[in-house]
Amino acid sequence: MKVVNVVGARPNFMKIAPITREMNKFPEIHSILVHTGQHYDFEMSQSFFQDLDLPKPDFHLDVGSGSHAVQTAKVMMTFEEVLEREKPDLVLVVGDVNSTLACALVAAKLRIPVAHVEAGLRSFDRTMPEEVNRLLTDQLSDLLFVTSPDAVDNLLREGIAREKIHSVGNVMIDSLCLCKEKAVASDVRTRLGLEDGPYVLLTLHRPSNVDDPVILRNILKSIRQISSRARVLFPVHPRTAAQIRSLRDPEFGSNSNGITFTNPLGRIDFLNLLLGASLVMTDSGGIQEETTFLQIPCLTLRDNTERPVTVSSGTNRLVGTNPDKILQAAIEVLSGDWKRGQIPELWDGHAAERIVEILRREFR
């Protein structure tokens, strides 16, 4: 059984690591790793391979950046060559980035079965490129591995056959569990001077937030206000850094007594900071899941989420991008007023085992 596993961007690396680790336990599975190169910055890519003990990719497509159409087209053109050469039994894709859809489409055209890990997630906001990628990838997939009951409902409502859908849990939690021991030993808090007092961990990268100067200014203003109450640590995504520079405002993008800007961090260092945070503020889907599992309060700087279980059951709260609402919610959390959520069913660190067992059964 030859399986091509696809990664393209940082969230993919964390999801694929426990799956390839589990596949390697079975000699009948020949696992091939393809990195499309959608993330090409070292800290966004190579360091994650090291931290997650991912093997060197068998193929690196080096597609780099570009518009959605350009990036998707480059992935399709180069990935087709890989499939023509390797002729795998299955292509496994994860998440919702451009590489996910591009590789699923190429495989489907070549009549190679597709498995989608993290299927069925929906924000119901088609202005998000990721939502388009999710919808189309699920329609192309033969095996759909889901993280929560709402994802099952979404797929059934869209006409996906029930026998294709498998509830397996969340591979992001598998990845977190695999890295947690290493993360606890990291000295990143000492290096950043965070040993004393509470701190807020912030991430920001979605185009809807960082590409709009008004929204970006509002978020940064609220963060400045929050930093007077607790230290704020902000590892800055390259896209976000470029947009902050374009604001040409010395108030933003510079360290102060209350806020520290850093370059992107590797997986182990970031997880250490996540474990110690009093509050996490983010527009990332994966971090919403991790904070729910770790029982850490999370404020999501969006009006919607494709992971509603983190709100209905977990510690997540949607606050949008209004600076007054962001500030008020942060004050409440830092004062101890936040909901203690529950960990969703099957988020137990064993999702990859379930996925690989299903693959072995289907191809036996």
* DSSP element (H, E) containing 45: none
Amino acid at 22: E
With CA atoms as reference, report the closest residue to 321 among 210, 158, 161.
Answer: 210
Please tell me which residue in 68, 116, 205, 237 is annotated as part of the active site.
205
**205: annotated active-site residue:** yes
What SS3 class is residue 151?
A: helix
Contacts of 335 (CB under 8 A, 6+ apart): none
Look at residue 116 and give its three-state secondary structure: strand
Instruction: Catalogue the E-assigned strands of the chain.
Output: 2-7, 30-35, 59-60, 90-94, 114-117, 143-146, 165-167, 199-202, 231-235, 259-262, 279-282, 298-300, 316-318
Nearest to 17 by CA among 92, 100, 106: 92
Closest by Cα among 46, 43, 72 to 60: 46
Phi/psi-derived region of residue 252, left when phi > 0, alpha when psi is between -120 and 50, beta in every other case:
beta
Cα 117 to Cα 92: distance, rounded to the nearest angstrom: 7
> Can you tell me the distance from the alpha carbon of 174 to that of 156, in angstroms, rounded to the nearest whole number?
26
* Look-up of token digits 């989420």: 305
How far is Cα 305 from Cα 300, in angstroms, rounded to an integer?
A: 8
> Residues of 309-332 as b/e, b for ≥16 C-beta within 10 angstroms?
bbbebbbbbbbbbbbeebbebbee
What residues contact residue 58 under an 8 Å CB cut-off, 6+ apart?
Answer: 32, 33, 34
Residues carrying an active site annotation = 205
